[in-house]
């Protein structure tokens, strides 16, 4: 069972919640699995709660929750205007040489093929792709926080909101997120995980039982006041980094 969420901020208009890894943001099928939305409805029975943003099941970190239809509308407008700024932390494979970089590469669905066995998997696709696959502009920015011989810690911001964007872009530059079953060393590990759950092979190849991506910080202006909320880096990521010899510095806000 996933850990319980943590409420970071309680405001009359919204909540900011730290979602643990392995917890679904919202129901994806009627199978009764625990979700953040269900947890919120149990914590605030009879009240309006609506997720403003969502995270993948394995991604931990900050989620914004509206507490009224009016707040949901206002926060939705801020989201569309890209006025809600979200920053992530990721442990990635390899030593990232650059202190700062921007990855500007269009993304789209790869399509099933012998090279890609996963239907939902995305990749970098040129606008004039010869196979006629569609792509959309995508831009991600990163800052190197720490770097060891085999692993680096990056701070990231997605300037566009494509599915799996940060994970795809990091794999594209040769630094996939640690523990990533889809965009890591072998996408077939994802299919094996679906069929067999976590195995010794997964542990040997991936190490962490989830991808090491954490929504660390969220910023937006509300009623004229700039608000910043942070969710500390989870223990599984800090422990894995230290075990791998990566010296973890204090995380500074930018």
- Catalytic residue IDs: 56
Residues in the chain: 254
Collapsed DSSP state (helix, strand, coil) of residue 93: strand
Count of alpha carbons within 13 angstroms of residue 248, beta-carbon side: 16
**How buried is residue 219: exposed, middle or buried, by Cβ count under 10 Å (0-12/13-18/19+)?**
middle
**How buried is residue 80: exposed, middle or buried, by Cβ count under 10 Å (0-12/13-18/19+)?**
exposed
Contact 119, 71 (CB under 8 A): no
Spatial separation of the C-alpha atoms in residues 126 and 134, rounded to whole Å: 8
- Which helix H or strand E contains 103, and what residues bound it? strand 100-104
Nearest CA-CA partner of 151 in 192, 92, 194, 202? 92
Q: How far is CA 189 from the centre of its chain?
A: 19
Contact 90, 153 (CB under 8 A): yes
> What is the number of helices (H) and of strands (E) in the chain?
6, 12
């Amino acid at each position: 069972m996933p850990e319980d969420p943590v409420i970071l901020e309680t405001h009359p208009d919204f909540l900011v919640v730290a979602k643990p890894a392995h917890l679904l943001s919202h129901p994806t099928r009627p199978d009764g699995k625990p979700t953040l939305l269900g947890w919120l409805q149990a914590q605030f029975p009879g009240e309006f709660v609506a997720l403003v943003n969502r995270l993948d099941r394995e991604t931990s970190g900050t989620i914004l929750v509206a507490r009224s239809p009016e707040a949901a509308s206002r926060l939705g407008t801020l989201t569309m205007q890209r006025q809600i700024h979200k920053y992530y932390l990721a442990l990635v494979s390899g030593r990232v040489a650059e202190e700062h970089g921007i990855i500007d590469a269009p993304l789209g669905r790869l399509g099933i093929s012998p090279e890609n066995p996963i239907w939902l998997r995305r990749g970098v696709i040129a606008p004039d792709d010869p196979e006629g696959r569609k792509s959309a502009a995508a831009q991600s920015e990163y800052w190197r926080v720490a770097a060891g011989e085999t692993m680096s810690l990056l701070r990231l911001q997605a300037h566009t909101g494509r599915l799996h964007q940060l994970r795809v872009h990091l794999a594209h530059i040769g630094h996939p997120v640690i523990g990533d079953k889809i965009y890591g060393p072998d996408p077939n590990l994802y299919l094996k995980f679906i069929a067999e759950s976590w195995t010794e092979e997964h542990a040997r190849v991936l190490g962490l039982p989830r991808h090491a991506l954490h929504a660390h910080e969220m910023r937006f202006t509300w009623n004229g006041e700039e608000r910043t909320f942070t969710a500390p880096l989870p223990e599984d990521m800090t422990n894995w980094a230290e075990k791998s010899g990566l010296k973890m510095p204090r995380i500074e806000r930018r």
